[in-house]
Structure 1
Amino acid sequence: MVLLPEEAGWQLSYAAVLNDLELPEEALSALQAVAKTSAPTPEYYFQEARAFFDAFKASQAIISYRKSLLMTPAAPQALNNLRLLEQSIGRMPDGVKSATRACVLEPGNTALQHGLTDALLSAGEIEHGQARNFWRHLKPEILIIRQGLPEEWNGGPCRDGQSLLICHEQGIGDEIRFASCIPDIQKRFGGPVILESDKRLATLFARSFPGLTVVEKVQRSDSNPPTAQYRPLVEEHGIGRYIMLADLQSFVRPSLEAFPRTAGYLTPDVTETRHWKDHFRATGKQPAVGLSWRSGMRRAGARHNYPELQDIVPFLKGADFLPVCLQYDMSSSERTAIQKASTKQLYIPAGIDQRNELDRVAAMIAALDLVISPNTSVLMIAGAVATPSIGLHSERGATFLGAKTDPWFPEECSLIKSGDGSWSALINEAIPYLTRMLSKGGRLK
């Protein structure tokens, strides 16, 4: 840029790097400099849209993407990005249209096909979305070659005495979410059911679902794509059919009306729960509220998915409670920053590995009066053990299935951050809910 200051290509590359570094204000400034010396191009509008979105200005980003598409109508990736923005501000039907157009332009693109599935489920077109949910298995980051499996289950009852295997997929949070379908699957199948599970959840699942056999996740190879050999497991347990964990919903959650109205389906250890209740009570008479503010895995778009540390400080000032840290990877610098920003000390549970001892974590969360978290495994565990919670969501995504609140967890107060809104604004909105829920024993109603 120094050697050739008039070369727009370098300036656009610079703006792209700033976007990659999640510096949207700086990217927009760089783009303004480009516009002074050359006519905007599709790439210009593409980078402008990225910057606007990361600056929590989704509506302006939509306009930029549309300008880009006017210049290059056959740009499926731009259409997919437009779909994401439309969903972020609640324009679900528009998101379906954009995703459909992208798939027409490039029907063999797995990511685009999965994007259409996501758009359909987000819009509440549950049957249509679930019918094409198989596209997720073809995404490179998810694809696993599972060898030695029998036929896929078609939803019918057990007729030959052989077992049904529920294959592990997704992360911890989604594993907990979709496990809520297991009791209904057991009734529907009427025979032995085997659940392949992350070993950290095995004890909790075995206690929670009588008659279920829980086995540790089959080891994956280091190849690309990974492979997993299921034949020994199939032979040991007499498995005659299999189904993927996230496909359970297609049989027992075909509509919003099919979701249970009662909260909680996981059974934490009674002794461990009592231990934590006594532990929290010993600190005083304040209600104990668990706090988490981000996932342990940093991904693209994190600015929209999770609040920053400073955003949650108003919670500490908004009501009288014991703040219990549920952020298993909190750094010492984060702890210091919270202590400087608030007179309230963050309580750090001692003697527990919150990342790996998930059975104990579930008991600890069951002992809390309330949990506040974005869309993380902490929020899923709270819903699964029926602890009231305030969920801080970046959008009403596919798991909402078109509902206004998360249908999987009836005890959750779901608050949604629009693509045009900041996390600080949403948290200021959440504080009155926090006050009301604490005054009513953790329940909003």
Structure 2
Amino acid sequence: MSALQAVAKTSAPTPEYYFQEARAFFDAFKASQAIISYRKSLLMTPAAPQALNNLRLLEQSIGRMPDGVKSATRACVLEPGNTALQHGLTDALLSAGEIEHGQARNFWRHLKPEILIIRQGLPEEWNGGPCRDGQSLLICHEQGIGDEIRFASCIPDIQKRFGGPVILESDKRLATLFARSFPGLTVVEKVQRSDSNPPTAQYRPLVEEHGIGRYIMLADLQSFVRPSLEAFPRTAGYLTPDVTETRHWKDHFRATGKQPAVGLSWRSGMRRAGARHNYPELQDIVPFLKGADFLPVCLQYDMSSSERTAIQKASTKQLYIPAGIDQRNELDRVAAMIAALDLVISPNTSVLMIAGAVATPSIGLHSERGATFLGAKTDPWFPEECSLIKSGDGSWSALINEAIPYLTRMLSKGGRLK
């Protein structure tokens, strides 16, 4: 920021200057000021779709959802063939609660280069109608583990709607958990993708083996069975963890003392640009360890030795590291372990999704009310979650300080806020 100020003193600010100034404000968690800078840049160069898209992201981050839709729409008018901008408009619509409109154009996500897969040998796409001639419906795998768990909540309603055999293509780490949780569902391992660019996947052998007559992408299930917020179940939990494994972990945690067991995660294992805006830093979560009396169970599967040492130095309360379990790959056991916990605290990661799916109460630390919120104040997919939102103008440490009273209240009421 100081370098930009020096430039402004020696010459008149340019659109690029305001563009970079906006980015600097954003990096400093000052979204409202960044918005002003983007608007100054756009006054000088109105036909700048990338600046409009960045403006859209910032408007969403501080809850100005209608403004985000307007900015995204303008960007798409300027560059209609830009897949990223079109997907940005979809995201803006869903975030604003324009569910039907957003879901209708959600196909844009498949055209993004980082997501695009050429799926070969598939039959026609399912139109939502009932089963015909006994042919199966294939639900094609997409998204990461967290979203796979989220959208799997739609499967029982899809089974009822289709009325015939349903095949789920799944990450192999979730296959056992899904098969146990959804009676009548056939779960198959994800079809192998090629190393080409874009990658290809050959579905013909799978289609022939299972008599598949229609297919649908996993994230498109919501368009048929979650067309509005009223269509979401009010009861929590839809995945069934292994009973014996859950009892094992409950006994394990109980053996450490009488304190409630609280699972902690603080970031995704997938490192992406801008991660500091989406996930708190390690030092941010330390106040949780001091804020209430509980057994802190580490659910951060890739925690480094340096992170562990840093926590040990920052707090007298040490993280409990579950032994004898691979938290990255043994997801069926992880689900049982999370089901045995009294509470989970996590940002938007697969850990938080699993907690919601097995009905473990949770505190979700979100960077914004994004597309999956569908305009709601709390995450509609997981009724047991206490969703706390960090504004684009706020820091993670401030949000976590806000979360500590919720933690205390939920622990006093057996993990539930109400």
Q: Do the structures match in fold with TM over 0.5? A: yes
Deviations 1:9-32 (CA, angstroms, capped at 9, x unpaired): xxxxxxxxxxxxxxxxxxx12211
Question: What whole-Å deviation, never above 9, does each CA across 1:224-267 have from its counterpart, x for those lacking one?
Answer: 00000000000000000000000000000000000000000000
Q: Which digits, 9 at most, give the CA deviation of each residue in 1:80-131, with x for residues without a partner?
A: 0000000000000000000000000000000000000000000000000000
* Residues 1:131 and 2:136 aligned together: no
Instruction: Output one character per residue of 1:346-365: Cα deviation in whole Å (capped at 9) or x when no partner.
Output: 00000000000000000000
CA distance in 1, matches of 2:206, 2:3: 57
Q: Distance in 1 between matches of 2:45 and 2:344?
A: 46
- Give the match's secondary structure for 1:166: strand
More moved, 300-309 vs 31-40: 31-40
Q: Quote the offset at 1:301 in angstroms.
A: 1.3
Give, in whole Å, the separation in 2 of the partners of 1:422 and 1:76. Answer: 28
Name the SS of the counterpart of 1:56 in structure 2: coil
| Displacement of 1:43 | 1.2
Please give the secondary structure, in 2, of the residue aligned with 1:201: helix
SS of alignment partner, residue 37 of structure 2: helix
The match for 2:355 is 382
Of all paired residues, the percent bearing the same amino acid is: 100
Determine the C-alpha separation between the residues in 2 that align with 1:296 and 1:32.
37
3-state SS in 1 of match to 2:221: helix
The 3-state SS of whatever aligns with 1:158 is: coil
Query: Where do 1:305-316 residues align within 5 Å?
Result: 305-316=278-289
Q: CA deviation at 1:42?
A: 1.2
Q: In the TM superposition, what is the alpha-carbon distance from 1:33 to its structure 2 partner?
A: 1.7
Cα distance in 2 between the residues matched to 1:167 and 1:29: 50
Using the alignment, how far apart are the partners of 2:89 and 2:17 within structure 1?
A: 26
Give secondary structure in 1 for the equivalent of 2:73: helix
For 2:87 and 2:348, locate their aligned partners in 1 and report how far apart those are by CA, in whole Å. 20
Q: Secondary structure at the match of 1:127?
A: helix
| Cα deviation 1:34-77 (Å, max 9, x = unaligned) | 11222211111111111101111000000000011011100001
The whole-number CA distance in structure 2 between the counterparts of 1:65 and 1:310 is: 31
Residue 392 (structure 1) shift: 0.1
Q: Could you list the structure 1 runs, at least 4 aligned residues long, displaced by more than 6 angstroms after superposition.
A: none
Q: Corresponding residue for 1:32?
A: 5
Partner SS, residue 200 of structure 1: helix
Shift of 1:313: 0.3
The one of 14, 21, 24 aligned to 1:48: 21
CA distance in 2, matches of 1:169, 1:413: 27
Distance 1:281 1:31 in 2: 56
CA distance in 1, matches of 2:137, 2:24: 48
Unaligned runs of 5+ in 2: none
Give the Cα–Cα distance (whole angstroms) in 2 for the partners of residues 405 and 414 of structure 1.
Answer: 5
Q: CA deviation at 1:161?
A: 0.5
Answering whether residue 271 of structure 2 is matched by residue 298 of structure 1, we say yes
| Cα distance in 2 for residues equivalent to 1:43 and 1:268 | 53
CA distance in 1: counterparts of 2:215 and 2:33, whole angstroms: 46
In structure 1, the partner of 2:332 is 359
Q: Any idea what the Cα deviations from partners look like across 1:130-161, whole Å, max 9, x if unmatched?
A: 00000000000000000000000000000210
Equivalent residue of 2:139, what SS? strand
Deviates more, 1:294-303 or 1:241-250: 294-303
Report the counterpart of residue 286 of structure 1 in structure 2.
259
CA distance in 1, matches of 2:18, 2:331: 45
**Number of paired residues?**
418
Structure 2 length as normaliser, TM-score? 1.00
CA distance in 1, matches of 2:65, 2:138: 35
**Per-residue deviation at 1:303?**
1.3
Distance 2:189 2:372 in 1: 26
**Does residue 1:154 correspond to 2:141, yes or no?**
no
Query: For 2:216 and 2:62, how far apart are their aligned partners in 1?
Result: 34
Instruction: State how 1:21-170 maps to structure 2 within 5 Å.
Output: 28-170=1-143
Report how far residue 300 of structure 1 moved. 1.3
Q: What SS class does the counterpart of residue 283 from structure 1 fall into?
A: coil
Secondary structure, aligned partner of 1:241: strand
SS in 2 for 1:390: strand
Secondary structure of 1:140's partner? coil
**2:396 alignment partner in structure 1:** 423
CA distances 1:385-419 after superposition (whole Å, capped 9, x unpaired): 00000000000000000000000000000000000
Deviation digits for residues 406-439 of structure 1, max 9, x if unmatched? Answer: 0000000000000000000000000000000000
SS of 2:67 mapped into structure 1: helix
**Distance (whole Å) between structure 1 residues aligned to residue 27 and residue 357 of structure 2:** 32
Q: C-alpha distance in 2, partners of 1:293/1:30? A: 33
SS in 2 for 1:157: coil
SS in 1 for 2:176: helix
Q: Distance in 1 between matches of 2:358 and 2:161?
A: 24
SS of alignment partner, residue 378 of structure 1? helix
